Structure formats: C-alpha cells, structure tokens
Structure 1
Amino acid sequence: MQKVVKIPVRTLAEYVYKSGSIVSGFNSTSSFTEGSRIHREVQKTYNEQDQSEVYLKAEIEYENIHFMIEGRCDGLLENNGHMTIDEIKSTSLSLDEINEESNLAHWAQAECYAYMYMQDHELDCIDIQLTYVQKSSGEIKRFRKTRTTDEINEAMRYMLSMFAPYAKLRLEHEWKRNQSIKELAFPFPHYRKGQRQLAGSVYKTILEKKTIFASAPTGIGKTISTIFPAIKAIGEEHLGKIFYLTAKTTTRQTAEEAYSQLFSGGLQMKVVTITAKDKVCFTGQGICNKEHCEFADGYYDKINDATLDILQNENSLNRHCIDQYALKHKICPFEFSLDLAYSADTVICDYNYIFDPKVSLKRLFDEQKKATVLLVDEAHNLVDRGRDMYSSTLEKAPFLQLKREFNGKNENIHKISKLMNDYFIKVKKQAVSSKTIEFEEPLGEFDQLVSDFIELAEQELLSERSENPELLLETYFAAQNWQRISKLYDERFILYAEIQRNEVKIKQFCLDPSYLIKQAGKSFKARVFFSATLSPSGYYRDMLGGEEDDYVVRIPSPFSQEQTQVMVKPISTRFKDRENSIKPIVKTLVETIQTKPGNYLIFFPSYLYLNSVLEEWNLGNYGIPSIVQDTGMGDTEREAYLESFKPGRSDSLVGFAVLGGIFSEGVDLKGDRLNGVLIVGVGLPQIGFERDLIKRHFSSHGKNGYDYAYVYPGMNKVLQAGGRLIRSEKDTGTIILMDDRYLQSKYQFLLPDLWKSNRLK
C-alpha cells in the first residue's frame, strides 16, 4: 500500500527553516504575522490579470513516500507572460531591520508555491517575491529572486530530505499504533453497569460526527469509557486525534492513569500532557529570552532533533518524560510540550488550549480538526471557565507605572501610556456616586488607544535595545487579549467600569459563553461533553452551545440506594442566619462522628464560613483530629491532605473544605478512606454585581435568570462534593445536607435519584 503524507506548505517550510530563540513569550514568527487585513490591502493593488489566494497542490514521490503538499498562494502575478509568486507578510518591526535573509522559511514557502505552479504549467523559470508590510505605517518592502526549474526542484528535494525522517517515523508509528489498537482489549475483566452504554454512545457520536452531552454518575469509570471507544475509532481510521480536555490536575492524572493501563495491554500511542508554564519552567521565572534562559536560546534550532528523539523512544509524553528530554536537548519544556501536541495521537490538557482565544493551539489546521474528537471531562466547569476565557479586563495602574518608567526612555511608550491613564481618569470622573458604570456600547476611543499601545509596545519588545521589561510584556498581553475579545463583543457581553479608590478597571464581561464555546468546537469531528453532574441537561446543553439534534444520554447509577444514607438537617445557612447556624453545624458534625466513627469531609460555601465554624469546633476540644483546606495549597500540601484519609484509622478524622474547591471534585477516596460527607448550604455563588448581570441577561431572554446565575451553578457544586463518597460497588456512607432549602421541591428535583429518599436528621 502506498505511504501517503499530507503536509501544508507552511508546515513544511517552517519545519525545515524555522530557527532562532524564543523571544519574550512570542513565538519565533511573532514579528511576522498572517495579517489578513493587510494581505487584502496589498492584493487590492494587483493588476486585473493577477490572482490572489490561489489554491495550489503537488504530489511528489520521495524515498517511497507519496507527499501531498498544498496551500494557498497569496499572489500569482503575471507580466507579459512572466509569472511571479508573491508571499505577503505583515510585521511590527521597522522595515530597516528586515533584509533578504531575515526569515528563510518565507522564501521556502514561496519556493513551494513556485514548484507547484511550474509543475502544472511546465515553466522554465519563475520569479518569487517577498512583500513585507509594516503594520502601523503601511510601508512596503519587497525582495525578488528569479528561479529556474532546476533550482526550484532542488529546493523542494532539500526540504523533503529534511522532513522525510519525521514523516517515516510518523508512518511507522501509525502502522504500529493501528495494529496495537486492533488487538487492544478493554483493560478490565468486565464493564461496570452503564460503562458499555457510555462507551457505545461515544463511539456512535464519533462515527456520526455529532455532539453528545453525557451525564454519567461518579464511580462508573467515565474516563476509560470515553477514551477506549475513541482509541478504537482511531484504529479503524474513523479518527486521527484525541483531545482529552480537563479543568483540574487531578482529572488530568486520571486520564494519564487510564492510558497507562492501556499501554500495559499493548497500546502503541503517543500521548502528550501539557502542563502549565509556571509549573514546568526550569528557571522558575517564566522569562522567555536567551539572555535570561538557556532553554530559550536557540530553541527552534534544536526542536526537530528533540522531537525525533522523544517520539522514537517514548509513548507516555507526560511532564516527567518531557522534562528529561528537554534537559537533554536544552530546550524549554513548556514550548516542547506544545510542539509535541501537533505530533501526538492524544493530547491531555486544560480546556483553554482549545477554547481560549489567548492560548489555543492555532497551528491545528481544519483538516486535522475534522479528524479530531474533543473529550471534555467535568464539562460543567466549562460554563464559568468559558466566561473567564471570553472576558477581558484592563486596569489603570500598569499604564500609570509604564508612563513613569518610560519617561525619557521611550517617548512613544510614555505618551501612549499617558493617554491610556488619562482615559481611565476620565472614566473615574464619570462615577460620581457609584462604584460601577455600565456602558451601552463599545468604547471606540479606548479601543483605538489599546490598538496603538499594542503596536508601540510590540515595536519596543522586538527591538534590539529592549530589555523586555516584565511589566510592559504583561500589559502588552493584557491589551492583546482586550483586542481579541473586542472583536467577539456582541449582545452576549456587557461592558462596565469598576472604581475602587484610585484604581479603575474596565471589563468586557461575557454573560453567555455558549455561542463562542460552540464556535471554538465546531471545526472538530465530534464533541463529547461528559460529567457526573451535567444536570439539568437542558441548562448545560444551552450553556455549552448545544443544539436540538445533539445527543443527550443519562447513565443510571450502578450503585444501590442502600449504599448511601442521605439526611437533611433543616437549618438556615442564608447569609443573615449564618451566625446562628454555627453551633448547630458543629453539634451535627460531632454527633455524626460519635454515632459512626470514621473519616468525614465537611464542605462550606466560603472560606469565611468555614473559618467561623472551625473556630467553634476548636473551642469544643472534642478530641477528633481535623485538617483544613487552605487558600493557595500547592501540590505537596494537597497530596498530604488527601493522604490523611487512611482506611482503618484508630481515630476519626474530619476534613474542612470549600464547595467548588480542589477537594470537591476529581478526588477518589475509596472504601474506608471516606465514611461521610456533610454539605453546608446549597452552594449558591455569592450574590454580587457580575452574578446579578448574568441573572438580568437570562431573565431578559425568557429564562429563569436566578436559576441560571445562582441555583444551577450552586447545586452542581453540591452534587460534586457529595459524589466523593460512593466510588465503587462496595463503598457505603452518609451524606448530610445542611440547609432547609433541601426540603423545597426545586432543590429536591435537582438531587440525584439515589439521594431523593432522604430523611430529616
């Protein structure tokens, strides 16, 4: 069978010719962007016989590989029968800093298009031209070369010779991978109740290129039930890639463990985990330039060898593995993981690499997306995460500081920072009697200032004189994000300013992220949103961009009602009654542990409430050990907290934690490690300005705004916390819901079936 490798022109050119160092968090081509608007402006100047955005392709045999190369040529220019390939690049750099050799990958792209055109039209020679456009001034600089057929053929053969080792490695791996998948068995002796139904639903969703919302109870084994059918779809060539998206480290580890079990069963796959930059940075500073970091120096000169090395030798490209190879090749581990994501069969990462416009993996081409499934774990978290991703804030303080820092140093940065600071002052003067101001429409003047700041900051950051000051870089990225979000701004957003003493912040707040979540995911072959608490399903389908014909599946719990004793303690935990609730909460906790000693978790809606009850608990001196979730706990502290829940302890233990926090979901305390869960309140988010904006928005669209803003997000936290208790068919325990609202029909309706036979305590 013919070995076929499809490759876009830009990918081939950059693989061979990309070079240099990581610069200040920019990628190596940051100074040269696609610049669609600028492309169109240049193309408008073409003569009538010239063509723009011309699709070209070529098929080339090289070392028993059939390469299919394709792309869109920016310009195909004709002058008296003589043809010129035009490659357009926009840049923030001064054109004085650009010469013919500034970026060899640009020439290589033009040479690829020249090869394709010459093959189709049997030409002896052709011109290739690079057109550089300075973004702020619109100034143009061009370089032109004439190339013969032999020269272009030689250029193509050289590029293929450099790319061939990687192509061969991928082809060999794909054959081994698919063979291993055909022989791969489910990694457990039998399916748990509901697992086969979930796995079958996921497989059908992939085959039919659909979206599914799957609510499957905690403990069923959702991770393996979604990964396994997706892997089988790859083996049958229905799928090319899997993205397993998570919100938290704990669920990422669960996915890694599932793949580890499959590796033990013979699976051959490349599985990369992307870990946050601040956690993996070797220097701990996160400053990405060759002056500060040897792992940024010459990164793009070393990345191809490092990639071949790790792919030849490893399957599980987790944090530890990537660190080892990054140290060996002296490259940045974070950027290495991002580059590996394009080669891997599965990528385990945070939601933001797909849904967040700031950090999404933009080199994924549409054709790759069409062969990729998104497995979105704990999908309930994506609603609020989506709001954060599609919101943007700018504050006054950084611009005031930049104005001072660059005075006499860079007059352009000083001046634009002063104008930004002045605008914030003008907004502050409008807020005579209020701490917030709502704007009815986008701020045109402000947006223009932000755009000017971005251009000037970019010039400074890319100039040779720049020391890449951290504040300027951070503010530049914040301004860039503002500009991105301003392009998405519509009726699903609100624009407001908040004033606190001398500080002013202006925010584009996303009220309803559903449309943007849908847009970010729509290019992919299939989308699987799953969670133990994707209920009510109508709310989550609405908020995650679902449509009427999407699949919805609700897997019944495999556990029996006898495993859980659920009780309601009808006290008021409303804000006005919290002081009076403290003693009854402590009394209930003590009585529960004394009646049935063991390990317990008690969850609170806030740290303030938790600490108030903890103070009363400590005063009682009950002789029961306790541990407390603290703000900003690191991985070591989290692990120590969970390790305290040991089976068969001689004494009892109570862990104080917050609803919606790190211990309320993705935590697996099986058997006697956990004997009971107490939940204080109904989990409602704190009443506040933004929550009320959400409430108002959905009420104005004919929905129950209070439920959308408060009740549904709150009860989801409750269900997640309660789900820590029963993790297997052998687990038993007690859940105590401490709030009189649990007796109301609305809240009873939102409880899982197994919790509905509750009684008063």
Structure 2
Amino acid sequence: MSEDIQISVRTLVEHVFKSGSIDARFRSQTAMMDGTRIHQKIQKSYREGDQKEVYLRTEIRYGGLSFLIDGRCDGLLFHEDKVIIDEIKSFSQPLEQLEQAGYSVHWAQAKLYAYIVSLDRELEDINVQLTYVDVKTEEKKSMIQTYTFSELESFTWEVIKGYFPYAKLLHDHRKRRDKSCKELVFPFKTYRNGQRNLAGAVYKTILDHKNLFAKAPTGIGKTISTLFPVMKAIGEGEVNRVFYLTAKTITRTSAEEAFARMASCGLTAKSVTITAKEKVCFQEETKCQKELCPFANGYYDRINEAILDILSNENHLTREVIESYARKHKVCPFEYSIDLAYSVDAVICDYNYIFDPRVSLKRLLDEQKKSTALLVDEAHNLVDRGREMFSASLNKGLFLQLKKDFKGVNQTIYDTANKMNAWFIQMKKMNEDQKEFVLEQLEEAFLEQTRQFAMTAEQVLQFETSPLLLETYFIVNQFIKIAELLDEHYVIYAEKDRNDLRLKLFCIDPSSLLRQMGKGYRAKIFFSATLSPMPYYQNILGGSEGDYMISIPSPFREEQVEVLIKPLSTRYHDRERTKGEIVSVIQALVKKRPGNYLIFFPSYQYLLAVYNQFKQTDGDTRTLIQEADMTEVEREEFLAAFKPDLPKTLLGFAVLGGIFSEGVDLMGDRLNGVVVIGVGLPQLCFERNLIKDHFASRGKNGYDYAYVYPGMNKVLQAGGRLIRSEQDYGTIVLVDDRFLQRQYQPLLPSEWRQYTII
C-alpha cells in the first residue's frame, strides 16, 4: 500500500544536490528584495503567450511510497514550436565568478519542472534555460540545454532515489509514532489533582483550533500535563508536530525528562533540543566560515548522512547527543539542530525561534504550521521578551566612532556616518534640558538617512572587513525593519547618557505582533503557575475573543504551607531604617524553624545591604549569595548545597526574578522555607512610566500593568519554589506592609490567604 509524501520541487532538489560550506560572512540584506525585483523584470520581458509563476504538480510512485511533488516555475516560454522552462537566479557576485556550467542544484530544479511539463503535455523533448542576473549591473547570462523526455524521466527517478532513504525513514518512523501515541497511557500511576483537567483542556484546544491560557500551580506537573495530550492528538492525526517553547534551560530539561518518561511507557517520538549557537560551538571563537571552522567547511556535503545516522539511532536529540553526532560527522552542532527541527516530532527551544522575526524557523511552511501545536511554558516571561524582540535602538556613539575610523580612509562611510552623528547632535541641542524625551514620530528624512547609511555600508562591506561597520550595519537594518512596524503600540523616545544619545523604538504592547508571529499554528497553549490576573495576560500576549481559559486550583493541602506576613516598609527611602528589623525576622525564623531557606530581594544592592548586616550579627549561620553573572557550573553548585537534613541552617540570598526564583526544584527537605522581601516592583524608570501612561490612556490600570503585575509575578514565582510535591512542607514569609493592602490581596494565591501577621 502506497503512502503520500508531499514535497516541493525546491526542497527535494536542495536535499539531494545542496553542497558546500556554511558561510556566515557578510551577506547583502537586500538580496531577497533584489531577487524578487530581478525576477519580475525578467518576467515582464517575456513575449505574449509566455507564462510566468506556473504552478506544476505531479505524483510519482517509488518504493511503496507516493511522492506528491509541486512548485512554481519562473517561466514557461513558447518559441518557434519549442517549449522552454526558464529558471531565474539572481547572483550577488560578478557573473565572471559564476561556475561555467551553472550550479547543479539550479539545473536540477529546472529539470524537474521540465519533466512535469513534458509529462503533462506529452512532449518528446523540451528546452531548459537557466537565467543568471547580476543584481548590481542587471547583466544577464543564459544557459540552455535540450533534454528528451526519457532523459528527464531517468533524472527525476534518480532524484527520488536520492531522497528515498530519508523519506522512507520518516515515513516508517511516523507509522510507529502514531501507533505508539494511540496506545500511550498517562506515564504516572495516577493524575495529581488538576492534571487531568489541564490535559483535557489542552486536547480540546487542539481539536477546536483554539488558544488556551492556563494558570496551573507550581508542582502540578505542567510539562507532562501539556505534552501528553499533544502526543495523543498526534496519534489521532490532529497534529504532526509540537514546539515546546521556554526561556530557561532548566525548563527545557523538564521537557526532555517528560519525553524520556513517556518513552519508558512505550512512546516512539523524536525530539530535538535547540541550544544557542554560542553555547554549542566547538570553536573558541564563533566564526562560521569554512577557512576558520572545520565544522562549517563542507557542512552541506555531510549533513544528509549525519541526519540519517542520528534519526536512525536516536529518539531524544539532546544537546549532548547532538554534539556527539556532530563531532562524528564533522558538522556544526547548531546548524545540525536547526536542520533536525524540520524532521522531528517535537522541538524544545527558546521563544525566539517562533516569535522573533529575526531568528524564526522560516522554512516552516504555512501548511506545516496548520499541523503544529505551540506549548508556551512560563508564558508570563513572554511579555517582556516580546517587548525586547519587537524593539530596536540606535546609539550616537556608533556613528561618531565610524566617522573617526573612516576619516581619510573611505569618504562615503565618513559622510554617511557624519550625517547620522549630526542628526543626533541636533536632537541633543533641541532637548538639552531633558535626560529622556519622547518623539511624536520619526521624520521620513531621518529614515531615508538610515537607509542610505545601510546601502553605503552594504557596498563597502562586500570588499572591506570592519567589525564595527558590520555591527552597525546589522543594528541599522534591524532599526529600519522595526520602523516599518511602528503603530499605536509603540513609543519613540531618546535617552541621554553623558555624551551619548540612544534613540529607541520601544514596543510597549507586544500583543498584536505576538499574535501575528503565532498566526497559522493549529493551537497555542500559554501556561504558567503565575498567569494571574488572567485578563491581563490574555490581553498582552495577543489573545482574542473566544480563547479558552482555565485556572487549576493548587493540588496541595493548606496545611503544607504556613504563610507569615511581616508588615514592614521595604520602599526605597525606608530600606536603611528597616533592614535591621528584616535581619531580626530572618534570625527569629531560623531559630524557631532551623533548615534550608531561600531569601529573595528586589535588587542586588538591597540584598548586599541586608546580607552584610546579617553577617555582622550572625557569623555562625552558613550562607550562600547569588553572584552577578554566575556560570552554569556556579549555579549548579549553589543549588547542590541545598541538601536535606543538614546539621546547620543554610540561607541562600538571591534576587527576585533572577536565576534562582524560577524553574528551580528543591524537593522535600532540600528547601524548608522562602522569605520574600518586598512586592517585587520593577524600579521606577522612564520606560516603565511610558508603559504606565500607555495603558492608562487605553482605559487600563496603567500602574498595575507597568509595576504591580510584573512585580507580584516575581513574588509568586519565588514562593512557588517551596511546595513541589504532596510530601513537601514549609514556610513562606512575605515582608512588606503592602501585602495587606486591597490592591495586592487579590493577587495572592488562595492557598496563601490563610496567613498569620507577625
């Protein structure tokens, strides 16, 4: 029985014929636009009766599989009783550098189109033409070959034969996968309270092509409760792939562990974890050029074999597994993981691979999106990450330095950098009494100036190497792209820093762009223990009317956690006065209840002030302190110190919203209590006030949106480190008088509301 494999002509030939090396040196940002322009210009020159962008499709049976191959050829021409396939390729180098016979992958693409046309029209022979065009000079070079139908048929079968091992491997795997997904049972003896409800909500969301916003408390087992129903949906043919998106390494590990547990219960599924390029690069310096990196040199000559090897032998493609096979096949581990993402059932990666327009997986076609579910873990983090993804800035200092570097060296760069620098100087003079100021709009003259700089830099960078010019070029291009998105969700502002001036396009409300980047996927599930208040997160994460929402109550008993509130002021101007009382609270707590504690502060300076006073009055208690810029090894050592049944109390001083306040699991007696100092408000600043004013002008509580909700989210995340299982008991101490105010009380979880005031 044959099975359908749908594939485009271009994807098919690139798999079989692509060769060469990874080369991340400078590439023109306008290449794609130039390519489109060149295509259209050539097509306009076609004669009457010629056709452009012709959709072609055929079906070929091979080895028990049925290949549905389609694509659009650039031109179908009719000259003197001859049919000609025209394949247009823009070329960024002078045409003299073009390989004399053209590139095999381009011929292959054109020949496959020629085969489909010959088959459809019953032609004995057909002409195949490659048209290369220099994007700068628009000089044209055409190559033409005549092929018989028999030759094209043989060639097409050879191409299918080259692709078949990969197609067969995926086809056989997916049959096993679907069967195992159908038979898969929940990989624990019982569901925790709330797990079945969450899993059911996720499954229904996928069935109904909806979005789900789910508040599910810490310790419920959110990872397995969201992944399990997606795998069941794969077994039923509802979806074909899942992306598990998260901002933190530790939550990626949880997803890997969930797949391993389901595998132990019979699941056959392939997952890949994408790790940042800088972390997995085998070289001392990340420079993706064949002359500098043996793993980039000849990458495309070896990648097909590397993919077949790992997919034939492994299911869980973790960082360690990928690195092992990457060394074996001498391929770049980062690019390897990206290529594998298109072949596997589950991709575990950072938010930016889906939501950031600069780095998203662009080869994921609309048809594939329709059968893909997105699981967005710790979704509260996507708010500020979204703002970051869709914002851009320019600094005066870059252009001043370029002006100095290129004076007497390159007049065109000097002139354009000088103009940019002069604009910033003028801005400073016009607003000399203000440290920060808002601009109503970006003048078209300034935008044209930035575009001119980018074009000039692009021309120079093709022949000269300048790290500063290259860096500035990419920053300017990003700025130009973001400028095209400017609307009512943005504020344009400038900020002085000594002699420098920064101009920022600040995406205050990322909701519409998050919605746009997530468009086309079968279902999106946003979940977090602290997705509260729900309407705020639904609004700012790009939700819409008709979304599903679920709030799962805590599975743990109230008696598992004792909540104490100490009504002290931790406001900035009171901190010096009350830090002694905070030390007393900590000392009284650990004297009455010895054990392991994490103590969270809203800033590092505040942490140090209290820590130093604590050490002056108590030199015996063992303490650890979160340092700035800790390595992964140092973080692991910090957490490893929290052992159960230590003979002495251990206090870990850490920062709210930092590396130890989210995604940390210290089960049982590894952690006996959490102390949270303050309500976590972000520091008062110009940018946060812009957020406040923006949402206030739209009828929302701007102060809550800018300060209260983000702050309390940090508090809830920190407190969530404590109770992780049915066997955990402990104490949470909230130190701030605002925890007793009407504004904050509704934001406390229900299990924290039976508190005692101390």
TM-score band by shorter chain is: over 0.9
The residue aligned with 1:625 is: 622
Once the two structures are overlaid, the 10-residue window that deviates more, 179-188 or 690-699, is 179-188
Q: What is the match of residue 146 of structure 1?
A: 145
Distance 1:716 1:164 in 2: 51
Q: Give, in angstroms, the shift of residue 491 of structure 1.
A: 1.6
Q: Could you tell me whether the CA contact under 8 Å between 1:31 and 1:93 is conserved in 2? A: no
Matched, 1:679 2:681: no
1:638-657 alignment runs, 5 A limit: 638-657=635-654
- Higher deviation after alignment, 371-380 or 415-424: 415-424
Q: How far 1:458 moved relative to its partner?
A: 4.4
Distance 1:13-1:140 versus aligned 2 partners, 3 A rule = farther
Quick one: distance in 2 between partners of 1:414 and 1:263? 61
- Give the structure 1 partner of residue 571 of structure 2: 574
Note the alpha carbon deviations across 1:136-163, whole angstroms, 9 max, x for none. Answer: x472524241332234323322322221
For the Cα contact (< 8 Å) 1:498–1:506, is it kept in 2?
yes
Letter in 2 for 1:627: L
Aligned ranges 1:375-390 → 2 under 5 Å: 375-390=375-390
**CA-CA distance at 1:82 after TM superposition:** 4.1
Check whether the contact 1:131–1:140 (CA below 8 A) recurs between aligned residues: no
Deviations 1:704-727 (A, max 9, x none): 111111111111111111111111
Q: Deviations over 1:152-206 (max 9, x none)?
A: 3233223222211111111121122222223322211111111111111111111
**AA aligned opposite 2:237:** E
Deviation by residue 1:415-449 (Cα, 9 ceiling, x = unmatched):
54444434433433333222234222234334334
Q: Distance in 1 between matches of 2:435 and 2:321?
A: 50
Q: Work out whether residues 19 and 28 of structure 1, in 8 Å CA contact, stay in contact via their aligned partners in 2.
A: no
Q: Which residue of 2 aligns with 1:183?
A: 183
What are the equivalent positions in structure 2 for 1:710-749 lying under 5 Å apart? 710-749=707-746
Q: CA shift at 1:455, angstroms?
A: 4.2
Residue 495 of structure 2 corresponds to which residue in structure 1?
Answer: 498
Tell me by how many angstroms 1:8 deviates. 1.5
Checking the alignment, whether the CA contact within 8 Å between 1:497 and 1:506 is kept in structure 2 is yes
Change (3 A) 1:724 1:706: same
Q: Which deviates the most, 389-398 or 125-134?
A: 125-134
The aligned residue for residue 435 of structure 1 is 435
For 1:604, which of 601, 605, 624 is the aligned residue?
Answer: 601
Matches of 1:459 and 1:485, distance apart in 2 = 22
- Deviation of 1:457 after TM superposition, in Å, equals 4.2
Match of 1:589 in 2: 586
1:93–1:459: 8 Å Cα contact kept in structure 2?
Answer: no
Q: Which residue of 2 aligns with 1:301?
A: 301
Matches within 5 A, 1:193-342: 193-342=193-342
Deviation digits for residues 252-303 of structure 1, max 9, x if unmatched?
1111111111222232221100001111111131111122211111111111
Q: What is the CA-CA distance between 1:3 and the residue it aligns to?
A: 2.1
Compute the TM-score of the two structures, normalised by the length of structure 1.
0.95
CA contact (8 A) 2:95 2:141 kept: no
Instruction: Report the alpha carbon displacement of residue 484 of structure 1 after superposing the two structures with TM.
Output: 2.5
SS in 2 for 1:745: coil
Change over 3 Å in CA distance of 1:78–1:487 after alignment to 2? farther
1:169 matched to which residue of 2?
A: 169
Alignment equivalent of 1:752, drawn from 731, 749, 752: 749
Query: Cα 1:86–1:579, aligned 2, differ >3 Å: closer, same or farther?
Result: farther
Match of 2:547 among 543, 547, 550: 550
Residue 66 of structure 2 corresponds to which residue in structure 1?
Answer: 66
SS across alignment from 2:289: coil
1:482 and 1:372 map into 2 onto residues whose CA distance is 31
**What is the rounded CA distance, in whole Å, between the counterparts of 1:659 and 1:158 in structure 2?**
60
SS at the partner of 1:320? helix
Distance change >3 Å, CA 281–CA 547, structure 1 → 2: same
Match of 1:16 in 2: 16
**Structure 2 CA distance, aligned partners of 1:263 and 1:50?**
55
State how far apart, in whole Å, the 1-side matches of 2:473 and 2:154 are. Answer: 42
Partner amino acid, structure 2, of 1:286: T
Distance 1:748 1:538, change over 3 A: same
Distance 1:121 1:318 in 2: 49
Distance 1:631 1:241, change over 3 A: same
Query: Does structure 2 retain, via aligned residues, the 8 Å contact 1:217–1:533?
Result: yes
Give the 3 Å change call, closer, same or farther, for CA 23–513 of structure 1 in structure 2.
same
- C-alpha distance in 1, partners of 2:390/2:128? 41
Q: Which runs of 5+ in 1 are unaligned?
A: none
Bigger CA drift: 69-78 or 10-19?
69-78
What SS does the aligned partner of 2:69 have?
Answer: strand
**Is the contact made by 1:303 and 1:331 (CA closer than 8 Å) also made in structure 2?**
yes
What is the distance in 2 between the residues matched to 1:444 and 1:39?
29
Assess if the C-alpha contact under 8 Å between 1:604 and 1:681 holds in 2. yes
Write out aligned runs for 1:325-364 (5 A): 325-364=325-364
| Counterpart contact for 1:33–1:89, Cα < 8 Å | no
Higher alpha-carbon deviation: 251-260 or 142-151: 142-151
SS at 2:343's partner residue?
coil
Q: Distance in 2 between matches of 1:108 and 1:346?
A: 31
Corresponding residue number in structure 1 for 2:612? 615
Distance 1:492 1:654 in 2: 43
2:594 maps to amino acid = P
Give the count of matched residue pairs: 757
- CA 1:518–1:654 in structure 2 vs 1: closer, same or farther (change >3 Å)? same
Letter of the 1:589 partner, please give it: I
Alignment counterpart, residue 690 of structure 1, candidates 675, 678, 687? 687
Shift of 1:128: 3.6
Matched position secondary structure for 1:146: strand
Change (3 A) 1:405 1:531: same
Q: Conserved in 2, the CA contact under 8 Å of 1:127 and 1:144?
A: no
CA distance in 2, matches of 1:514, 1:709: 15
Q: Distance between the aligned counterparts of 1:37 and 1:660, measured in 2?
A: 48
Q: Does 1:371 align with 2:371?
A: yes
Helix, strand or coil: the match of 1:746? Answer: coil
For the residue of structure 1 that corresponds to 2:339, the secondary structure is helix
Contact 1:273 1:337 in 2 (8 A): yes
| Shift of residue 100, structure 1, vs aligned partner | 5.4
CA separation of 1:132 and 1:701: change in aligned 2, threshold 3 A: farther
Q: CA deviation at 1:408?
A: 6.0
- 1:315-337 deviations in whole A, cap 9, x for unaligned? 11111111111111111111111
Distance 1:615 1:108, change over 3 A: same
Q: Deviations along 1:373-402, whole A, 9 cap, x unmatched?
A: 001000010011000000112223334444
1:125–1:146 contact (8 Å) kept in structure 2: no
CA RMSD of aligned residues (A): 2.3
Q: When the two structures are superposed, what TM-score results if normalisation uses the length of structure 2?
A: 0.95
**1:253 maps to amino acid:** T
> 1:85-104 alignment to 2 at 5 Å?
85-99=85-99, 101=101, 103-104=103-104
SS at match of 2:66: strand
- How far apart, CA to CA, are the structure 1 residues paired with 2:48 and 2:605? 70
Partners in 2 of 1:362 and 1:379 — Cα distance? 22
| Residue range with higher mean Cα deviation, 146-155 or 749-758 | 146-155
